Amino acid sequence: MITTAPLVFHLVDDNDIDLAVNSKLLELSGLSQNIRTYNGATSFLRYLQEHEAQVQGQRNIVLLDIMMPQINGFDCLDRLSAQSPQLQSVLWVYMLSSSIDRRDIQRAESYDLVEKVLEKPLDIYVLQNYLRNIEM
């Protein structure tokens, strides 16, 4: 099935440099010009709550950092897992981590919402390959 819903990237990270670099990589790759950045999970979750109807009309690729203060990536996943199935169905979550701790990777991959755990720095070509496997 081919969909015409817009493709939106949501970058969730507490590191401003990572946000800027990943945003620029996505822009230059031509994957989407619709890129939203959040300096933590709190602002991302708030955005989803305030714009749920709009988000449900989009294809949303979420690049979620694992290690963040206040609400880390796992806490964010727990909160996303409690959202409506309709909202969950339009989210494709890729966890980003500079950690090579196998336990973090296994824990992240145990969530149904998580497509894959990607290493930092983001390799745009690896992401593009994974995106080919989802309904775009």
- φ, ψ of residue 85 to 5 degrees: the values are -60, -30
Is position 1 within any domain? no
For the chain, the domain total comes to: 1
Is position 120 within any domain? yes
* Contact present, 68 and 91 (Cβ < 8 Å): no
Show pLDDT as tens, one digit a residue, over the chain (136 residues).
445 678 999 999 999 999 999 999 999 999 888 999 999 999 999 999 999 999 999 999 999 999 999 999 999 999 999 999 999 999 999 999 987 789 999 999 999 999 999 999 999 999 999 998 765 4
Tell me the residue range of the domain where 44 lies.
7-131
Is position 125 within any domain? yes
Q: Where are the alpha helices (DSSP H) in the chain?
A: 16-29, 41-50, 52-56, 73-81, 85-88, 102-109, 124-131
The two structure tokens encoding residue 61: 């690729």
